[in-house]
């Protein structure tokens, strides 16, 4: 088994990384930064997002695994005190994986450029200075004109993040879908939006068209950038998926319970 490690860079994560190397040598695991079978994230969810975005070119060849240090990470299955047991499993057990859907975002500019992105959690659209005004199409059919602070397009695993804080639903990753949630939409006698999150299955599309030439602020998981001269933004379920290594069961709803409710009802 060939592995590579990305860590958050704080003291605990660095210590865990050094300890992992010690166990890996003991169990004869091989580090390979160029073509690993397993990418190990040591830190939090932000570290996993960084690992994902750094390795999008090899999603079909590699699985991801998270060890959380500090606060519980939604993508991290393993605690620091389980490290030796984990390394033993990696060395001795066959690699089993589960697939999570991803979001594909396609941005077209007025000068005919096309930029493509993948998101593990979510993609958000906001105006930098004023109310965001976007014509919304679903499957290339007119749906509404959105006016408000912004829109969030999330994956099922990302539904537990920003989408949840916007009142969106929590979606199991076995459902290949994306969810569109509003941020403070304007609804009165003149302007109306649907006022609810939309769940789009695979092969359905959402297209957003800015109503005027405005600078738009985007977030892509943990990344932030601004663009002007935007003609359209399209979101849909990506053909690509991310693989997570599973050396023991950890059901999605257990993750949700542990992240948001805790142990009090066990």
For the annotated catalytic residues, the residue numbers are: 45
The enclosing H or E element of 16 equals helix 11-26
Question: Is-contact 171 101, C-beta < 8 A?
Answer: no
Instruction: Report d(CA 19, CA 224) in Å as an integer.
Output: 33
Instruction: Report d(CA 206, CA 233) in Å as an integer.
Output: 8
- Please list, in sequence order, all residues whose beta carbon lies within 8 angstroms of the beta carbon of residue 205, skipping any fewer than 6 positions away: 137, 138, 139, 140, 234, 235, 236
Question: Is-contact 8 40, C-beta < 8 A?
Answer: no
Q: Half-sphere exposure of 99 toward its Cβ, with a 13 Å CA cutoff?
A: 12
Instruction: Report d(CA 246, CA 38) in Å as an integer.
Output: 11
Question: Is-contact 100 68, C-beta < 8 A?
Answer: no
């Amino acid at each position: 088994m060939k592995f590579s490690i990305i860590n958050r860079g704080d003291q605990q994560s660095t210590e865990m990384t050094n300890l992992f190397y010690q166990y890996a040598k003991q169990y004869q695991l091989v580090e390979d930064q160029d073509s690993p079978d397993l990418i190990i994230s040591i830190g939090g969810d932000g570290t996993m997002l960084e690992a994902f975005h750094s390795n999008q070119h090899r999603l079909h060849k590699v699985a991801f695994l998270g060890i959380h240090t500090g606060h519980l990470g939604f993508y991290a299955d393993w605690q620091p005190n389980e490290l030796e047991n984990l390394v033993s499993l990696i060395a001795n057990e066959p690699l089993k994986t589960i697939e999570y859907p991803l979001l594909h975002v396609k941005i077209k500019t007025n000068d005919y450029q096309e930029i493509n992105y993948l998101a593990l959690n979510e993609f958000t659209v906001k105006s930098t200075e004023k109310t965001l005004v976007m014509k919304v199409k679903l499957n290339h059919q007119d749906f509404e004109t959105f006016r408000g602070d912004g829109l969030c397009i999330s994956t099922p695993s990302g539904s537990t993040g920003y989408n949840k804080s916007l009142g969106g639903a929590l979606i199991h990753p076995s459902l290949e879908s994306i969810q569109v949630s509003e941020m403070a939409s304007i609804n009165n006698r003149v302007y109306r939006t649907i006022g609810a999150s939309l769940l789009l299955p695979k092969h359905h599309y959402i297209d957003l068209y800015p109503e005027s030439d405005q600078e738009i602020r985007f977030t892509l998981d943990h990344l932030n950038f601004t663009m002007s001269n935007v003609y359209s933004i399209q979101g849909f379920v990506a053909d690509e998926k991310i693989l997570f290594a599973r050396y023991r069961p950890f059901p999605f709803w257990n993750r949700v319970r542990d992240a948001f409710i805790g142990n009090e009802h066990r």
